[in-house]
């Protein structure tokens, strides 16, 4: 019996030792894996670094590219498009104006009643219409006839007291958010379709001409006074409320900037300078790139796999379309190389753009002690269950790294614009205020992004200059802004209201 007992004890002890060895090995393996997690995150954080010196270099590069783009067509990565908007709203505008906002699978029609300095926007009515998918790839006349019919129906509900007198046309601001080569304030040829549209017989044609033909077919007596994009509309919307607005920036799904330039500083502007001496320039700043931009392997992979490799590099690191996917790419590397979510790589984590920026924002703003929102988002979107607090903290840290880099680079871009027009410093005895109008869901809803952008801009300007610069939210440039530009470019300016 004794021998059996001793043997059993030896076997038990050996088993316990083996188990202990496995536990130790597992811990060593786990700590090794966790070390790898920390190392990947640390390297990513360093590569995304935006020290103030680097931001100044980015702003200087933006300034240089702006000069080059204004000097000649194709002279820069920045298109610096002449918009022919040389008369921004003053706040004095009165009357009823329409807007058409076409930029995706829906379009909006708006009716805006302006009451001058005292009353501002008196009344705003709008309707949203879905575009049937077959019209997005059909013919020009089918699409524009459909839009004209819906607009005519909207016009038919116009209050009788606002019907224009005989011989006077209704006026419309047309926001057309596709690449256009503008030829005047109210004409421009389509360069190419994006966003799922592909109507070949419109490419190279004047989009205002196409829309006007459809108006004439159904007897809609309306004229397009201004053809704009949403960023130019943001400048107009901002200027209407505040005469100190000098630029507009959109930070949403995509990003762009427009600003007011002195006509004599635009070498490629031929012909007589505008009476106002100013011109709004549409920068198309999403296409900015510079060796100073802090790009990582994840950004390069995202760009290589995108529909437009090598283009829109600035947009791909600061705009809402991409921020969530950058976080997903880092999480995927952590899962593949460091078993971040366990022994298997979650299948959903391999799906591009499954992690949207609004979800990233929700995780980034989680204030619960156990980061419950982070845990819920990982479970609901990526089907990753039972994550530890340690894991959730890393996810939140990645959201912070990506958002703060985007916000600080956005601020550097704005600083570059201020530098170009000489508003980055305070001149002795001057008390000139400069306001940048901002719009877009990223700026409006992602609080930590917005706070970082504002504090970084102050840091770049310095205390004294920062006193003279303000950032203001300017909503609905693509709608109200378009109606305001129809008003400021009305052919009836100076004609007494009858």
Residues annotated catalytic, as ranges: 195, 230
C-alpha 362/C-alpha 17 separation (Å) is: 47
C-alpha 284/C-alpha 254 separation (Å) is: 11
Extract the tokens encoding 252. 């949403």
Closest to 439 (Cα-Cα) out of 479, 467, 409: 479
CA dihedral 91, 96, 102, 106 (to 10 degrees): 120
C-alpha 14/C-alpha 336 separation (Å) is: 35
């Amino acid at each position: 019996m004794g021998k059996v007992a001793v043997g059993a004890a030896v076997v038990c002890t050996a088993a316990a030792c083996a188990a202990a060895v496995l536990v130790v090995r597992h811990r060593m393996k786990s700590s090794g894996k966790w070390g790898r997690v920390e190392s990947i995150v640390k390297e990513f954080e360093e590569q995304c670094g935006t020290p103030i010196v680097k931001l100044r270099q980015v702003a200087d590069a933006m300034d240089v590219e702006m000069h080059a783009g204004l000097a000649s067509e194709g002279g820069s990565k920045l298109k610096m498009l002449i918009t022919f908007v040389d008369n921004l709203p003053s706040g004095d505008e009165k009357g009823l104006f329409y807007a058409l906002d076409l930029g995706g699978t829906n379009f909006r029609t708006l009716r805006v009643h302006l009451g001058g300095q005292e009353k501002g926007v008196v009344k705003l009515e709008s309707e949203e219409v879905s575009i049937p998918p077959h019209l997005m790839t059909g013919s020009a006349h089918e699409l524009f006839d459909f839009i004209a019919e819906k607009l005519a129906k909207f016009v038919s509900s116009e209050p009788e007291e606002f019907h224009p007198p005989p011989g006077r046309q209704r006026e419309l601001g047309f926001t057309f958010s596709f690449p256009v080569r503008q030829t005047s304030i109210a004409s421009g040829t389509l360069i190419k379709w994006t966003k799922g549209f592909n109507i070949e017989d419109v490419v190279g044609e004047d989009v205002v001409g196409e829309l006007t033909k459809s108006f004439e077919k159904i007897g809609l007596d309306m004229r397009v006074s201004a053809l704009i994009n949403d960023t130019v509309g943001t400048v107009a919307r901002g200027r209407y409320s505040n005469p100190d607005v000098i630029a507009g920036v959109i930070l949403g799904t995509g990003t762009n900037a427009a600003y007011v330039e002195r006509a004599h500083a635009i070498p490629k502007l031929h012909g007589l300078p505008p009476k106002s001496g100013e011109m709004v320039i549409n920068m198309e700043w999403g296409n900015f790139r510079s060796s100073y931009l802090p790009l990582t392997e994840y950004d390069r992979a995202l760009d290589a796999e995108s529909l437009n490799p090598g283009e829109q590099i600035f947009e791909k690191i600061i705009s809402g379309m991409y921020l969530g996917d950058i976080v997903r790419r880092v999480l995927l590397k952590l899962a593949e190389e460091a078993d971040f979510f366990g022994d298997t790589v979650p299948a959903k984590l391999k799906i591009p753009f499954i992690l949207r920026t609004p979800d990233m924002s929700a995780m980034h703003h989680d204030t619960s002690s156990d980061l419950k929102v982070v845990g819920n988002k990982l479970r609901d979107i990526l089907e990753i269950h039972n994550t530890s607090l340690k894991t959730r903290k890393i996810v939140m840290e990645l959201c912070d790294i990506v958002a703060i880099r985007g916000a600080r680079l956005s601020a550097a871009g704005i600083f570059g614009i201020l530098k170009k027009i000489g508003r980055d410093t305070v001149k002795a005895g001057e008390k000139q205020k400069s306001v940048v109008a901002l719009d877009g869901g990223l700026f409006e809803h992602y609080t930590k992004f917005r706070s970082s952008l504002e504090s970084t801009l102050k840091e770049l300007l310095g205390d004294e200059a920062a006193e003279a610069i303000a950032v203001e939210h300017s909503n609905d440039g693509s709608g109200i802004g378009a109606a305001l530009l129809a008003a400021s470019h009305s052919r009836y300016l100076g004609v007494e209201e009858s």
